[in-house]
């Protein structure tokens, strides 16, 4: 989307954008910190934060109470006990270029009133992991906490005890109480091995070593953490009963003596120039290092100077992270393959001459869609620049046109499905070209089958992607109904390579266990375009019983029918999604598949959300930050149950749902004696708890 320059924003626009940014950044913080599954790159995230800061700088009066600039990271996730940090765990400001580093040094000198004197630093590679706080009392490890939102983290004591190089006891003399901080990380090689094992087991794969480390440490079952190859480098002090050294360098030496690992590349640097040389040296070694680093942290060595400089906002004035540019490499584009997805989408994938980008061997890159190939003017045989920004899947950023071979041909996107040969079409206004083959396209069938057994659908244990592909290729499964006939072929499966009687028997049991299924899961499992989990739940709640849903969907095939308009009127569904459903049910083979399945399954009724419920006709207000729902989602839920959602609390309000950090509205509700409920109570009330 085109962004208006900050200088051109009117106040109302700025206010609206700050509200959007607060919500968006909070959402990404949760994805990153709580689910260890970021949806955007670090660079995109930084851009959001920078935009927020720029708008706030121009409109200081509009800074929100929940502004991202006032928070670090996300609130602690449920599951772990919370621990308050005695000294907040803060973040670092970044620079990207020598001139910016010089500026930082000048700021420091100005602050200290020293014009010419060189500044002495310690440089430490900035490990891309997650920060950890370890508290030792009388030399014994008593507590481990994640950073959380910087003020309050999660109690991961049991987990940190399993990290091999975290000492349980400090060697030698230790203060009565001291908190050590450092970075927990996973090596690149261990990360790749873990992902390979996860993939083979049909489990979640991690986007990068940092997420793998975070996901491994934040396990409720510490035995899982113990099985993961994590390490820590110590680098900072938190709360302490005495401050044992006068320089940061001496502190690092003390950490070593106590038994911690300190990054061996850390170095004392006597001047700004020495720091710049160090930056170049580490940059040159970066790709060969066994772990991911994204820059170097420079800390003023003298702790008394650190104390004088103190903090501004969420970062110290006495340290800076000098980040490296994203890792790049050049290689040759050998071919472009087209993958066909569950809904027929044709996705181009670049096949590359294998190349090492920042320590990870890369052979493929996503190209997203037809337009992107055209925009980059890719020819087969082109030399291309690849970039990996923390993530494993790299992107092609540019073509080196000077190196284009004379006979290189521009890539022509196919008009037909490369798997089934059906026509591929791209509706006007859309970027994705789709195979029109539907169920005759074996690629679509296979992807649908994989979706059908996935976690949020039938979730059949032991029937992962690999097995589905094999069984489909061998004709053992042609459609979803065949899955439920697999137990009849148990003896045959037991004979297959990699199987045996025991695993074949457990597969049969796992399949039988899923013969009864909730309506929402069943609808989701069908893999209808645009019917994700949320929409499937909306449909299930609306129609209640399978038979009713089926009947109404068939009736909705007719444009202008009452059933179609009823479907489109469901809050959260709308006309476009109604059309997808109608299209699905207009296809006889789809209806046959559904009917074949229902003969083999027991589909449980959903609790139907119709008029007369507790909330019908009630006036509801949401306030504060909701943890598990977005505002539009919460609103849709309320309206679905017949409630009306308003913005302000008055005597007419029946119910106030109070999220975190709620302010005046919650107070007003208390004053007026309006009923208030927590988010969890609300979920129970609407039957989602
Ligand atoms: S010092 C108040 N030293 O970078 C200063 N941080 O962007 C606190 N990090 O949250 C941080 N290596 O997770 C420091 N040698 C290092 C580091 C380091 C990695 C991480 C850390 C911190 C983040 C800030």
CATH number for the domain harbouring residue 271 = 3.30.470.30
Q: Is residue 610 part of a domain?
A: no
From the CA of 126, give the closest atom in ligand 1.
12
Say how many Å lie between the CA of residue 294 and the centre of ligand 1.
11
Q: What percent of the chain has pLDDT over 90?
A: 54
Q: What is the DSSP string of 495-547?
A: TSTT--HHHHHHHHHHHHHTSEEEHHHHHHHTT-TT--HHHHHHHHHHH-SHH
Q: What pLDDT score was predicted for residue 611?
A: 45
State mean pLDDT over 480-504. Answer: 94
Least confident of 79-83, 103-107, 268-272: 79-83
Q: Residue 344 domain-assigned? A: no
Mean pLDDT computed over 393-408: 90
Residue nearest to atom 18 of ligand 1 (CA): 126
pLDDT at 454 over 60: yes
* pLDDT score, position 452: 96
The sign one gets for the Cα dihedral 356, 360, 363, 368 is negative
Percent of the chain clearing pLDDT 70 (strictly above): 96
Instruction: Print burial letters for 207-220: b (CB count within 10 Å at least 16), e (below 16).
Output: bbbbbbbbbbbbbe
Residue among 95, 183, 279, 314 whose CB has most ligand 1 atoms within 8 A, to mutate: 183
Q: What is the pLDDT of residues 372-390, one digit of tens each?
A: 899 999 999 999 999 876 5
**Domain end position, chosen among 323, 347, 365:** 323
Q: Which residue among 576, 604, 632 closes a domain?
A: 604
Q: Residue with structure tokens 């409109």?
A: 59
How far does the centroid of ligand 1 lie from the alpha carbon of residue 52, in Å?
A: 22
Q: Of the ranges 65-69, 139-143, 144-148, which one carries the lowest mean pLDDT score?
A: 65-69
Report the range of poorest mean pLDDT among 121-135, 293-307, 387-401: 387-401
- How many angstroms does the Cα of residue 319 sit away from the middle of ligand 1? 9
Q: Among residues 82, 126, 376, 537, which one is catalytic? A: 126
Q: Look at 114 and 502; give whichever has higher pLDDT.
A: 502
pLDDT-derived band at 53, boundaries 50, 70, 90: confident
What per-residue confidence (pLDDT) applies to 184?
98
270 and 140 part of one domain: yes
- Tokens for 586, please give them: 């207009």
* Average pLDDT, integer, range 344-364: 86
Ligand 1 centre distance from Cα of residue 176 (Å): 25
Instruction: Give the pLDDT score at 108.
Output: 93
CA-266 nearest atom, ligand 1:
15
Comparing 57-61, 179-183, 426-430, 674-678, the range with the smallest average pLDDT is 57-61
Is a pLDDT exceeding 90 seen at residue 3? no
Q: Which residue among 321, 323, 390 is best mutated to probe the pocket of ligand 1, counting the most ligand atoms within 8 A of its Cβ?
A: 321
666 close to 656: Cβ distance less than 8 angstroms:
yes
Residues 252 and 181 in one domain: yes
pLDDT in tens, 170-220: 998 889 999 999 999 999 889 989 988 887 777 777 878 888 999 999 988
Residue 175 lies in a domain: yes
Pair 480, 592: CB distance under 8 Å:
no
Q: Are residues 130 and 270 in the same domain?
A: yes
Q: Specify whether 123 is located in the same domain as 260.
A: yes
The closest-lying atom of ligand 1 relative to the alpha carbon of residue 131 is 13
The CA-to-CA distance between both ends of the chain, in Å, stands at: 36
- Going by alpha carbons, the residue nearest to atom 23 of ligand 1 is 91
**Of 274, 286, 309, which is closest to residue 108 (Cα–Cα)?**
309
Q: Ligand 1 centroid vs 28 CA: distance in angstroms?
A: 20
Same domain, 126 and 221: yes
Q: Which of 131, 146, 186, 263 to mutate to test the pocket of ligand 1 (most atoms within 8 A of CB)?
A: 131
Interval between CA 234 and ligand 1 midpoint (Å): 10
Residue nearest to atom 21 of ligand 1 (CA): 131
* Atom number in ligand 1 closest to CA 94: 7
Confidence label for 13 from pLDDT (cuts 50, 70 and 90) = very high
Q: Do residues 337 and 348 lie in contact, with contact meaning Cβ atoms separated by under 8 Å?
A: yes
Q: Judge whether 161 lies within some domain.
A: yes
Q: Please determine, for residue 482, whether its predicted confidence score (pLDDT) is greater than 80.
A: yes
What spacing in Å lies between the alpha carbon of 297 and ligand 1's midpoint?
A: 7
Q: 181 alpha carbon to ligand 1 midpoint, in Å?
A: 9
Look at the chain and count its residues: 689
> Higher confidence at residue 65 or residue 477?
477
Least confident of 191-200, 359-368, 523-532, 546-555: 359-368
Regarding whether 300 and 167 lie in a shared domain, the answer is: yes
Mean local confidence (pLDDT), 648-664: 87
CATH number at residue 533: 1.10.150.20
Q: Are residues 624 and 597 in the same domain?
A: no
> How far is the C-alpha of 564 from the C-alpha of 53, rounded, in Å?
46
Residue whose Cα lies nearest atom 2 of ligand 1: it is: 90
Residue 164's closest CA among 84, 258, 230?
Answer: 230
300 and 217 in a common domain: yes
The CA radius of gyration of the chain, in Å to the nearest whole number, is: 29
Confidence of residue 689 (pLDDT cuts 50, 70, 90): low
Residues 569, 669 share a domain: no
User: Considering the chain, what is the average pLDDT of its residues?
Assistant: 89
Residue 564 reports pLDDT greater than 50: yes
Which SS3 state, helix, strand or coil, does residue 433 take? coil
Q: Rounded distance, CA 334 to CA 355, Å?
A: 12
Let me know if residue 540 belongs to a domain: yes
Q: 688 pLDDT band (50/70/90 cuts)?
A: low
β-bridge partners, 423: 416
Name 346's Cβ contacts closer than 8 Å, sequence gap at least 6.
338, 339, 340, 370, 413, 414, 417, 418, 424, 432, 433, 434, 435
Expressed in angstroms and rounded, the spacing between residue 442 Cα and the centre of ligand 1 is 49
Q: Which of these, 513, 512, 504, lies nearest to 485 by C-alpha position?
A: 512
State which of 604, 634, 661 marks the end of a domain.
604
Question: In the annotation, is 618 catalytic?
Answer: no
Judge whether residue 37 has pLDDT over 70.
Answer: yes
Site to probe by mutation for ligand 1, drawn from 29, 89, 91, 182 as the one with most ligand atoms within 8 Å of Cβ, is 91
**How distant, in Å, are the alpha carbons of 456, 508, 680 from that of 683?**
19, 35, 5
Note whether 188 and 267 are same-domain residues: yes
Instruction: Give the count of beta carbons closer than 10 Å to the beta carbon of residue 198.
Output: 15
Q: CA-CA distance, 540 to 216, in Å (whole number)?
A: 35
CB atoms within 10 A of CB 26: 17
**When comparing pLDDT for 496 and 243, which is higher?**
496
Ligand 1 atom nearest to CA at 236:
1
**Total tally of structural domains belonging to the chain:** 3
Pocket test for ligand 1, best of 297, 309, 310, 320 (most atoms within 8 A of CB): 297
CATH number at residue 655: 3.40.50.10190
Measured distance CA(673)–CA(676) in Å, rounded: 9
Give the residues surrounding ligand 1 with Cβ less than 6 Å away: 90-92, 124, 126-127, 131, 183, 235-236, 297, 316, 319, 321
Q: Which atom of ligand 1 is nearest to the CA of 263?
A: 15
Kindly list the distances between the CA atom of residue 30 and the CA atoms of 36, 39, 76, 219, 522, in Å, as whole numbers in the listed order.
8, 10, 9, 16, 29
Quick one: which atom of ligand 1 is closest to the CA of 315? 2
Assess if residue 500 is contained within a domain: no
Tell me the residue range of the domain where 644 lies. 619-685
Q: Does a structural domain hold residue 389?
A: no
The pairing of strands 327-340 and 346-357 is antiparallel
Q: Which residue has the least CA distance to atom 22 on ligand 1?
A: 91
Provide the strand spans (E) within 598-670: 602-604, 619-623, 644-646, 655-658
The verdict on residue 570 lying in a domain is yes
Q: What is the pLDDT of residue 221?
A: 85
Q: What would the two tokens of residue 517 be? A: 């299924």
The residue whose C-alpha atom lies closest to atom 13 belonging to ligand 1 is 131
Which pLDDT does position 475 carry in this prediction?
A: 94
CA distance 629 to 688: 11
Q: pLDDT at position 61, please?
A: 84
Which atom belonging to ligand 1 lies closest to the Cα atom of 147? 10
Show Cβ contacts of residue 45 under 8 Å, excluding neighbours closer than 6 positions: 25, 28, 32, 38
Residues 533 and 674 in one domain: no
Q: What pLDDT shows up at residue 167?
A: 93
Model pLDDT, residue 612: 44
Q: Is the pLDDT at 311 greater than 90, yes or no? A: no
Nearest CA to ligand 1 atom 9: 126
Please give the distance, rounded to the nearest whole angstrom, from the Cα atom of residue 131 to the centre of ligand 1: 7
Q: How high is the pLDDT of residue 291?
A: 93
Residues 573 and 673 in one domain: no
Q: Is 431 helix (H, G, I), strand (E, B) or coil?
A: coil
């Amino acid at each position: 989307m085109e962004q208006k320059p900050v200088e051109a924003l009117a106040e109302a626009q700025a206010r609206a954008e700050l509200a959007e940014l607060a919500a968006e950044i909070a959402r990404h913080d949760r994805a990153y910190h709580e689910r260890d599954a970021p949806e955007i790159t670090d660079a995109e995230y930084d851009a959001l934060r920078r935009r927020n800061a720029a708008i706030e700088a121009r409109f200081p009066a509009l800074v929100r109470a929940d502004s991202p600039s006032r928070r670090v990271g996300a609130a602690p996730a449920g599951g772990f006990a919370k621990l308050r940090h005695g000294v907040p765990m803060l973040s670092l400001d970044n620079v990207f270029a020598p001139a910016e580093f010089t500026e930082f040094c000048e700021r420091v000198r100005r602050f200290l009133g020293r014009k010419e004197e060189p500044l002495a630093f310690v440089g430490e590679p900035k490990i891309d992991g997650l920060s950890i706080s370890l508290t030792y009392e009388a030399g014994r490890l008593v507590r481990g906490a994640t950073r959380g939102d910087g003020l309050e983290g999660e109690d991961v004591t049991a987990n940190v005890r399993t990290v091999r190089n975290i000492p349980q006891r400090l060697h030698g003399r230790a203060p009565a109480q001291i908190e050590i901080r450092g970075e927990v990380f996973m090596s690149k090689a261990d990360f790749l091995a873990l992902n390979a094992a996860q993939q083979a087991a049909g489990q979640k794969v991690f986007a990068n070593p940092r997420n793998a480390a975070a996901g491994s440490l934040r396990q409720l079952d510490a035995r899982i953490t113990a099985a993961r190859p994590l390490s820590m480098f110590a680098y900072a002090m938190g709360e302490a009963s005495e401050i044992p050294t006068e320089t940061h360098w001496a502190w690092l030496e003390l950490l070593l003596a106590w038994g911690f690992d300190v990054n061996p590349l850390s170095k004392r640097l006597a001047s700004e120039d020495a720091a710049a040389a160090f930056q170049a040296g580490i940059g040159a070694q970066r790709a060969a290092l066994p772990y991911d680093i994204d820059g170097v942290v420079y800390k003023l060595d003298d702790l008394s100077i650190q104390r004088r400089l103190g903090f501004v906002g969420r970062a110290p004035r006495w340290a800076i992270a000098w980040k490296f540019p994203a890792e790049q490499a050049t290689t040759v584009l050998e071919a472009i393959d087209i993958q066909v997805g569950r809904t027929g989408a044709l996705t181009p994938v670049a096949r590359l001459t294998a190349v090492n980008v920042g320590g990870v061997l890369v052979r493929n890159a996503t190209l997203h869609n037809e337009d992107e190939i055209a925009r980059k003017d890719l020819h087969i045989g082109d030399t291309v620049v690849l970039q990996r920004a923390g993530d494993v899947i790299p992107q092609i950023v540019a073509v080196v046109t000077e190196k284009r071979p004379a006979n290189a041909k521009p890539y022509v996107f196919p008009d037909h499905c490369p798997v089934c040969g059906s026509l591929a079409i791209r509706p006007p206004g859309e970027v994705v070209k789709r195979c029109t083959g539907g169920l005759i396209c074996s690629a679509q069938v296979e992807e649908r089958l994989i979706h059908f057994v996935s976690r949020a659908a039938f979730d059949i244990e032991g029937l992962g992607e690999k097995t589905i592909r094999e069984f489909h290729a061998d004709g053992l499964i042609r459609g979803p109904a065949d899955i439920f006939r697999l137990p009849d072929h148990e003896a045959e499966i037991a004979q297959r390579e990699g199987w045996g009687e025991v695993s074949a028997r457990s597969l049969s049991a796992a399949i039988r266990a899923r013969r009864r299924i909730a309506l929402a899961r069943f609808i989701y499992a069908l893999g209808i375009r645009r019917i994700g989990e949320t929409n499937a739940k909306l449909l299930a709640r609306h129609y209640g019983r399978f038979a009713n849903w089926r009947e109404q969907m068939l009736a909705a095939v007719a444009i202008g029918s009452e059933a179609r308009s009823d479907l489109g009127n469901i809050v959260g569904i709308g006309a476009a999604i109604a059309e997808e459903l109608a299209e699905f049910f207009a296809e006889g083979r789809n209806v046959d598949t559904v009917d074949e399945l229902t003969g083999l399954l027991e589909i449980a009724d959903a609790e139907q959300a119709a008029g007369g419920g507790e909330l019908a006709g009630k006036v509801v207000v949401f306030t504060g930050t909701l943890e598990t729902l977005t505002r539009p989602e919460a609103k849709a839920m309320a309206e679905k149950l017949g409630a009306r959602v308003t913005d302000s609390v008055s005597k007419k309000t029946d119910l106030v749902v109070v999220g975190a950090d709620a302010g005046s509205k919650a107070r007003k509700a208390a004053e007026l004696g309006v009923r208030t409920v927590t988010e969890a109570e609300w979920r129970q009330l609407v039957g989602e708890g």
